Chains A and B, each alone.
Chain A
């Protein structure tokens, strides 16, 4: 797979490390979250067959975190975003 990095252009996916579902950006609020919320956050996954937004780390490159929209049935990548931008749009401070 070729990942079209927003800053660096097309890069081989072997330069990257995969973390998982980008829903992990949306961490429960530690002030209010219940143990059940933490369980659901840490262990349960949508695991869709089709479009999947996921976190990749450019370990063999500029060490940026990316949110990649990829089809799990075809491996086709339709969108690549800097994870920080996505997190800020969701209201995270960083």
Chain B
């Protein structure tokens, strides 16, 4: 069923009785060409592109809980492509371009809103670094714009420009960045994949891999064995847990990142603001809540909840840069589990086990990458070769020294 304005009007006039479930609820078949583990944004996007772009027919997505119940439903919904390094920027710019055409591609309203993102600058050295990053973005076909103080004062007059520690000196803006309705991304990809014959199997937990002679033959699940020529794992946050079932150790630690939403307010915040120096970033949802967050808690965790010191730190950052936030009440807060990799960048690669492929290590930046991650992973699964924008996201970069370390922090995951 395609959605259209005509259909909405017709259903409105007939009591909304004609809407059908957006995807089926099938039982698993005995064997698929490709099985994707993880029914989150990345897994469902992979299924969509596998069937739509790479012409695969027998594909299944296996999900332990319900689709879209992990990090794609727990993030702060920001999209952007404002990276510095060659290994990253073409990939994220490819992702932003896919976001721009996503709703037409899926026939689904994901509320993609290019309201712009701005990173604040507080010193001359930081201005140099940010302008360099802006130039790198433009060299890769992305947009970037340096904003001086009068320009920021015009757009965001409510910021605290004269903070003693971090006075605002300027900003780096990406106008094409913005926000997306995160749940709708999972649902839109699921609906599209399902309509092309992908079996989305929910409440089906992978309990192990069947590996013989160095080849993966399928997965053991709570609904029995499912055979597959190729198995793709896209379970960022739980990658360590899943891949240990295949006997693998990863260059990844799992960490908890908290996020916050205020009560609904009238529109006050036109775009996304990041105050990196103060560990704080914020946007306003279409429902009116201020959506904000900060740093990860900083210790290994699978708990999906954080602790109070980071809550305090984030709120202090908010008060420092945007004092009016103190007038809003906090409505809710939550934690999600991140695959924090050893250089802060993701992995989309084959494993040493034949037929077993891995997608993970997204740190706290997986949401914006969803379309490109799905596209690149589908490319890898269908053609057994990395997509041209994802050639740097290999396991062996830690052996060869080709790390993609945007911040230059080294192998300390909680500093990325």
Spell out A's residues near B (CB within 8 Å).
Answer: 1, 12-14, 18-21, 35-36, 39-40, 42-49, 52, 54, 70, 72-75
Contacts of B278 in A (CB 8 A): none
A39 → B minimal CB distance (Å): 5
Q: Which of B252, B300, B412, B414 has the most CB of A within 10 A?
A: B300
Are A18's CB and B298's CB within 8 A?
yes
Given known pairs A18-B299, A20-B300, A43-B398, the reply for A75 and B307 (CB within 8 Å) is yes
Q: Which residue of A lies closest to B298 (CB)?
A: A18
Say yes or no: B252 contacts A72, CB within 8 Å. no
* Pairwise interchain contact B399-A47, C-beta atoms closer than 8 A: no
Query: 6 nearest interchain CB pairs?
Result: A47-B240, A14-B309, A44-B249, A43-B251, A43-B398, A49-B302
Q: Are A43 and B342 in contact (CB under 8 A)?
A: yes
B132 at the interface (CB under 8 A from A): no
**Size class of the contact patch on chain B:** 20 to 34
Give A47 to B342 CA distance when docked, in angstroms: 12
- Cα A73 to Cα B252 with chains together (Å): 17
The digit string for B218-258, where 1 denotes a CB below 8 A from any CB of A, is 00000000000000000000101100100001111110000
Q: How far is the CA of A14 from the CA of B253 in the complex (A)?
A: 20
A47 touches B309 (CB 8 A): no
Question: Which residues on the B side are within 8 Å of A13 (C-beta)?
Answer: 299, 307, 309
Q: Which of A42, A43, A72 contacts B303 (CB 8 A)?
A: A72
Most buried by A among B250, B254, B298, B299: B299
Chain B neighbourhood of A20, CB < 8 A: 253, 300, 412-414
Task: Report if B113 contacts A (CB, 8 A).
Answer: no
* CB–CB B301/A47 < 8 A: no
